[in-house]
Structure 1
Amino acid sequence: MNFRTLACAAGLLIAGSPAFANEFEAELTALANSQMAEIAGSDIVVAAVKARNTETAAFDQAQIDALDTAWRSELDSNDQPMIDEVLDNELSLHLLDIQDSSDGLFTEIFVMDAKGLNVGQSDVTSDYWQGDEAKWQDTYGKGAGAILIGELEQDDSTQLLQSQVSLSITDPDSGEPIGAITFGVNVEKL
């Protein structure tokens, strides 16, 4: 992306133009159908989601809300056993390796189970339950092969233009959705 395109993008972003959110849709969709789909369908991602789905299958909304509340309370605490458990699991370390080797393309990656609960993530998310958000509802909830391209946003801390791209995770044996994955994408690296 050249300076003029970036300046134009920033101007449209400030003006709040919803049309700009789709300027990178073709590139993001192509990325979702290639590299992201490969990651989502990898053995480590599928196995981790299947295992977590077994653990959380019987959770009701009260249990989900309690987990989400516990996660949020740990965000500002020095004692973070729940967050540490997720960040230190095999899937999270794998996702962090992918993010680190993406040359800045991926700003975050996180995986959700069939309830919308975090299974693994490259960095801490602000909440544990994503099931009330479009990134889970419009992927897992829509079935196998679903892709959601989020709006273009400027990150306040990094000043990067980025978009979230979410995909359903599919069980290769049954063809059924088992979870979802979200990638933060630095569109300047497309």
Structure 2
Amino acid sequence: MRVFITIFASLSFSMGPTEIVLATETDSLMDAYYKQKVALKKEADAVLKSLQSGDWSIIIDHLEKVNRRYPKGLERTDKSTPRGQNFDTMDTEWRAWSESFRNPKGKKSKGKTPDWIKQVLDNDCSKYLAQKTKNKSNVAEIFVMDRLGGTSCTIEPTSDFDQGDEAKFQIPRSTRKVHQGELKKDKSSNSVSIQVSYPIVEKGQFVGAVTIGLTLD
């Protein structure tokens, strides 16, 4: 019994400082993590400001054109699109193409790109995004979503077409506030990055959202 008590007492005293050290290290790591998130948020804000200070009307005009194709009052629950398909069908086709876009070594595939996907990748809005971010090496991705969450324009193919079921779209849409994700490995950019998403409001109406993905230096 004395041996057990001695061992228990020894463990109790030795665990105290260990727990304090671990807690201190954890607090330090968390503090560094959140400081990094704040810094990346500021960088994303700067990218957005750069877009807005340029020909922001290119994005607005494009969204108005895309959103006009949706029947008035159409919501995501209707799941229909101007192409006569639903979001699930388009998303499945986009995902399959996106997977074949790069081979296992990361090189682009020579597979044929469907015409409707070409229209997303090559429109004036996508070209504008590419132009404004071409000298920003830590911008891994930037894409604009229409009012129902469909990918409307982008500098690089996203992993899926339908963003409407994700927080990056839902929070800006429902709250009109910025949504910042967590650091993670992103399939689209193939890097550790963080996404910051902003609502796009025109004349008091939500018309879409823009997501800016930044990589760690």
Scaled to the shorter chain, the TM-score interval is: 0.7 to 0.9
Larger Rg: 2
One-letter amino acid of the counterpart of residue 163, structure 1: I
Structure 2 residue aligned with 1:108: 141
Among 32, 35, 39, the residue aligned to 1:23:
35
Q: CA 1:159/1:180 → structure 2, altered by over 3 Å: closer, same or farther?
A: closer
- How far the C-alpha of 1:154 sits from its partner, in A, is 4.3
Q: CA 1:66/1:183 → structure 2, altered by over 3 Å: closer, same or farther?
A: same
Instruction: Please show how residues 11-160 of structure 1 align to structure 2 within 5 Å.
Output: 21-39=33-51, 42-57=56-71, 58=74, 60-62=78-80, 63-75=86-98, 76=100, 78-81=111-114, 82-102=116-136, 104-143=137-176, 146-154=177-185, 160=191
Taking the aligned partners of 1:107 and 1:156, their CA distance within structure 2 comes to 11
C-alpha deviations, 1:2-56, integer Å up to 9, x for none?
A: xxxxxxxxxx8xxxx8776533232233334443145268111111111111113
Identity %: 29
- 1:184 is paired with a residue whose SS is strand
Say which structure, 1 or 2, has more relative contact order (CA 8 Å, 6+ apart).
1
Q: What RMSD in Å do the two structures reach over aligned CA positions? A: 2.8
Structure 2 residue aligned with 1:9: none
Taking the aligned partners of 2:88 and 2:148, their CA distance within structure 1 comes to 11
One-letter amino acid of the counterpart of residue 118, structure 1: T
- 2:140 is paired with a residue whose SS is strand
TM-score by length of 2: 0.67
Unaligned stretches of 5+ residues in structure 1: 1-11
